[in-house]
Chain A
Amino acid sequence: MIDAILLTIVTILKILLVLVPLIISVAYLTLAERKVIGSMQVRVGPNRVGWKGLGQPFADMFKLMTKEIIIPTNSSKFLFLGAPILSLAPALAAWAVVPFADGWVLADVNAGLLYILAMTSLGVYGVIIAGWASNSKYAFLGAMRSAAQIVAYEIAMGFALIGVLMVAGSLNLGDIVRAQSGGFFSWFLIPLFPLAVVYFISGVAETNRAPFDVAEGESEIVAGFHVDYSGMAFAVFFLAEYANMIMIAALTAIMFLGGWMSPIDGFGDGIHWFLIKTAFCLFLFLWFRATFPRYRYDQIMRLGWKVFIPVTIVWIAVVGFAVYFELGPWFQIRANGMS
Chain B
Amino acid sequence: MSFELFIFYVFAAILVFAASRVITVNNPVYAAMFLVLTFFTCAGIWMLLEAEFLAITLVLVYVGAVMVLFLFVVMMLDVNVEPLREGFVSYLPVGLLVGAIMLIEMVFLITQRYFKNEQFPAPERAGADVSNTQELGRLLYSEYLFQFEIAAIILLVAIVAAIALTMRRRPDTKYQTPSEQISVTKSDRLRVVQMPPEKR
Interface of A toward B, CB cutoff 8 Å: 4, 76, 79, 109-111, 114-115, 117-118, 121-122, 124-125, 128-129, 132, 140, 143-144, 147-148, 150-151, 154, 171, 298, 302, 337
Contacts and interface: CB of A to CB of B under 8 A. Distances in A.
Interface string B41-80: 0000000000011001101100111001101100100000
Given A154-B65, A298-B175, A128 B131 contact: no
B56 A118 contact: yes
Contacts of B65: 121, 151, 154
Nearest to A133: B29
B68 A124 contact: yes
Chain A facing B: main interface SS: helix
A28 to B, nearest CB: 30
B132 to A, nearest CB: 8
Given A114-B57, A337-B131, A140 B175 contact: no
A109 B71 CA distance: 31
26 contacts: A79-B30, A79-B33, A110-B133, A110-B134, A111-B53, A111-B133, A114-B52, A114-B56, A114-B133, A118-B57, A118-B60, A118-B63, A118-B64, A121-B64, A122-B64, A125-B68, A128-B68, A128-B71, A129-B33, A132-B29, A132-B71, A140-B75, A147-B71, A151-B65, A154-B64, A154-B65
Nearest to A120: B64
Q: Sort A-B residue pairs by CB-CB distance and give the 4 closest, nearest first.
A: A121-B64, A118-B59, A118-B60, A114-B56
Chain B facing A: main interface SS: helix
Contact of A110 (B52, B59, B60, B75): B52
Contacts of A129: 33
Contacts of A128: 68, 71-72, 75
Interface of B: 3, 27, 29-30, 33, 36, 52-53, 56-57, 59-60, 63-65, 68-69, 71-72, 75, 131-134, 175-176, 178
Contact of B133 (A117, A122, A171): A171
A105 to B, nearest CB: 15
B69 A151 contact: yes
A215 B146 CA distance: 43
A260 B108 CA distance: 57
Contact of B72 (A110, A115, A147): A147
Given A171-B133, A337-B134, A109 B33 contact: no
A109 B56 CA distance: 12
A79 B33 CA distance: 10
Contacts of A144: 72, 75
